[in-house]
A and B are shown apart, each in its own frame.
Chain A
Amino acid sequence: MRSPFAYVSRPGPLQAASPAAAVAFLGALVAVAFLYSSPLVLVAAGAAVALAGRLAGAWAAVRAAIRLGLAIALPIVVVNALVVNRGETVLARLGDWPLLGQVDVTAEALADGAVFGLRAIVVMIAFAVYSACVDPDRVLRALRPLAGRSALTATLVSRLVPVAAADAARLRDAARLRGPAAAAVGRAPLARRLLAGSLDRAVDVAATLELRGYSLESRRAPRPPSVREKTRHSSSLRRRRSRYDRRFYLAGALVLAGAIAGKLLGADGFHAYPTIRLGLEPTTIALSALLVLSGLTPYRRKPRRQPAASSRSTGRRRPNGGRLRPAGPVVRPSPPRGPGAAPARRAPGTAVLETPRV
């Protein structure tokens, strides 16, 4: 079973974009989460990354990140409420606690904790979207010139972690399939078995790397392209840029510029202490709107379908025996709208146009 955070290759601008462009876009939203404390701005940043994930087809990763983020945010709120005694609106006096002393739960401490939790959720969603949409091989290839061995190690880890998770799931299944009289499998034997299996896999991977020529990597200088290669292949192959890169760089730059400008213009007017001040300035609202809109960056307009000349006639059969509907608008009488409903009003001799579903 695959983790919802695992990268899945899907057609989409965020997946097609170069890792640097994707990081610039998502990183700008994460930077906003760290720069601002305004709940409105944080919610807008969270909405932006969630929307971007949704449009990139990584909704499962977004949902998992929200669940995980809530599980982390809740303890943050509770702990902050218990350990911080600042704030004027006391909601509960819990008396003297060992180590903590007098514990007063204030609305301000709760709000402050909620902001910390919200920030954590935004960051987790952003990382979830990054993990599910950005090809780790491309990231590591980009890093390889800087630190080849570290990048390869990271590649192997990114591959072996989900494999180890699958191994663990298989071992758990086998443990459940043991007969009732077989010795029970505790966590320790299971962990030992998993570790042994991981070491076996590591040995296999090491052998594979040997066979692929890894041991020579450090000894070889990069082979320059031959004259034939230079003439036959365009430089675009080497650079491998996506046509969506500019869009993500622009969105990231706009978000970051807007966030810095907003900060200077007082858009982050939130204060938790001594009393809560939300600070909903026009600049805060404008920045929030900009952030939410930035979530549309991975949007891709569906390509317009061209009428297919060959299937315009009514005759072609589908492999399943069905018949293709003719392409382009088809004319058919409108169906009745329910028992006793009056037929749709239309002029005599006209028909309802329906876009065909292909």
Chain B
Amino acid sequence: MSELAIRRGAAPTLAIAGLTYSYPRSAQPVLSDISMEIAPGEFVLLAGRSASGKSTLLKAACGLVPHFHGGEIEGGVAVAGLDAIESGPGELAGAVGYVAQDPETQVVSTTVAAEIELPLELRGDAAAARARAVEEVALALAIPHLLGRTVDTLSGGELQRVALAAALVTRPRLVLLDEPTSQLDPVAGDELIWLLRRLNEEWGVAVLLAEHRLERCLAAADRVIAMDAARIAFDGPPTDFLSWAHDSSPALSTPAARLFSLAGIEPLPTGVRAARALLEAPDRAGAEDPTPSERLQLLGRHPHGQPQTPHPSKLREEGVGSSAPPALRIRGLWVELTRDDAPHDVLRGIDLEVNRGERVALMGRNGAGKSTLLKAIAGLAPTAAGKIEIDGPKSRAQDDKSAHRPGVALLTQSPGDYLVRERVGDELPGEVGVAALRVVGLEHAVDADPRDLSGGERQRLALAIALAGQMEGEELPGLVALDEPTRGMDRTRKDDLVALIGDLAGRGAGVVVATHDVEFASAFAERVVLLGAGVTIADGPMAEVLSGGWYFATEVARVLDLPGVVTPEQGAAALRGEMGEAR
């Protein structure tokens, strides 16, 4: 972004000085001595691990803290010249827009047009002015076709855009976004980030964006603020942030930066474009050793990045998977659901086999049929045609017609739905319950209140509830399935989940995880099944599928474009010329 667009020297859009804040009945401050400024037209990325204070900082910037949440506050917050601590969110509504992680929680009207119009109506704008503002913001966000629709018919990406439109319709000078891409597929997530960038450039609106998946938005940012334990740990440009993260907080490092760091190449890149430019930089030519770019050519990089996704039939012929009896066998599965009073084929002839001990990532855009497939496997979605067979210790014995299909433990997108009691031991009584808690490493928390557990622990408790009584001794049910388990997770928690998935597979369960998170899939999966509009469009080894595309490819795969190279370690080995070992 040009210096002209970021009007440095002008009054800051957001100015925070010495801010310390504690929630009610909390001894520890969530924000401690925070001081920062955001210039008009600046795009700032807010990084940090879970519970580092990012969301609270955003809430302080829009007045929800302390006006809505209460608590103790010191210091000052000013938004576009208004004192946020004195004024409150209502007065700030014209100057700042806020978009939360889950757009579902932010929608109050039935139709899209009414939802976008509501802030203007509450402000008392005339009907003609409202109509024009709604039209303009809808055009800016490419959603005019959604204006007449009801909000419950929208996809997650569409709903997030509507929430953004409602935040922008008053033409605020600052927009705050709290992990807006966490529920979106890679395509919708990338689109949202670049939409923000475009609005930032064209409208001059300053953006403060909190995100965990930094590789997605670092290239769009002018500046990064990293938080750690309620304080600002870093504040500077993206390239400096990567160096700082490498030294001080490796969990915040991006895959491309780790790739370069492991390969000994500097400076660290902020995104795919920068990484490619650095690899192909002319100043690397002339040395005795081949440059990374030349090495990649020697290793067979596709000159124009042609995707190399293997065809499912070819993979089956090549014998992906083992010859052991499968934990899951699906043949010709069709699922039909009613949508808008009309039947729709959500799954169309799915064939799938998962072996015991196999870790499979189920990927695809929003609405591709991932969750429906998992529900059909668990017996929650009615099948129109096809056959589902599960192998498991209880699948032959259990005859409880009211329960789901035996031999499957499914953890849905909201683990909190499984927790209905106030003591962990009451959720999982008896020795069988303790055995299930032991599998997920929560045997110490029998007397705890589920609400006092961390997010990751609650997720593991929910999994234990799904597993309870489906095990014979230490043997797990044939299939453990998780639906979008990484929503809102930082990298440390994702690493814990990767270890848990490895442990479950090691105990003999086939593990199927529906996820949008490509980097997470590359960390845990040995096989990736890619769905598109209810059909399988790729099914093969993880490294091959995730290196053969653009959206469903890791950042390293997009940088190097080498078949089978998806992780920073593999990429660094390739750049060092150790490709044979890496692959």
Contacts and interface: CB of A to CB of B under 8 A. Distances in A.
B466 interface: yes
A209 B465 CA distance: 36
8 residue pairs, one from A and one from B, having the closest CB atoms: A181-B469, A233-B128, A137-B114, A179-B468, A174-B417, A213-B93, A225-B126, A215-B90
Nearest to A171: B417
A182 B465 contact: yes
B394 interface: yes
Contacts of B126: 222-225, 229, 238
Contact of A173 (B105, B107, B148, B412): B412
Nearest to B94: A213
Interface string B376-418: 0010100000000000001000101011101001111010011
A216 B125 contact: no
A167 to B, nearest CB: 8
A277 to B, nearest CB: 42
B428 A213 contact: no
Contacts of B151: 159
29 contacts: A4-B341, A138-B114, A155-B109, A162-B152, A176-B380, A177-B409, A178-B403, A179-B409, A180-B398, A181-B428, A181-B468, A182-B469, A189-B420, A190-B420, A206-B68, A207-B89, A210-B68, A212-B122, A213-B93, A213-B170, A215-B88, A215-B90, A216-B91, A216-B123, A225-B128, A226-B129, A232-B128, A237-B128, A238-B128
A221 interface: yes
A91 interface: no
Given A156-B108, A178-B468, A179-B466, A211 B98 contact: yes
Interface in A6-24: 6-9
Contacts of A192: 420
A177 B418 contact: yes
A170 B420 contact: no
Interface residues of B, number: 82
B453 interface: no
A183 interface: yes
Given A182-B465, A205-B108, A233-B128, A9 B149 contact: yes
Contacts of B132: 233
B468 A216 contact: no
B110 interface: yes
B153 interface: yes
A79 B128 CA distance: 55
Contacts of A211: 62, 64, 89, 93, 97-98, 167
A229 B129 contact: yes
Given A176-B402, A225-B129, A183 B111 contact: no
Interface residue tally of chain A, by bracket? 35 or more
A216 B470 CA distance: 55
Nearest to A174: B417
Nearest to A61: B341
B428 A183 contact: yes
A207 B398 CA distance: 46
A155 B427 contact: no
B467 interface: yes
Nearest to B428: A182
A170 B414 contact: yes
B306 interface: no
Interface string B111-139: 10110001101111111110110000000
A213 B469 contact: no
Nearest to A186: B420
Nearest to A137: B114
Given A174-B412, A192-B420, A8 B341 contact: yes
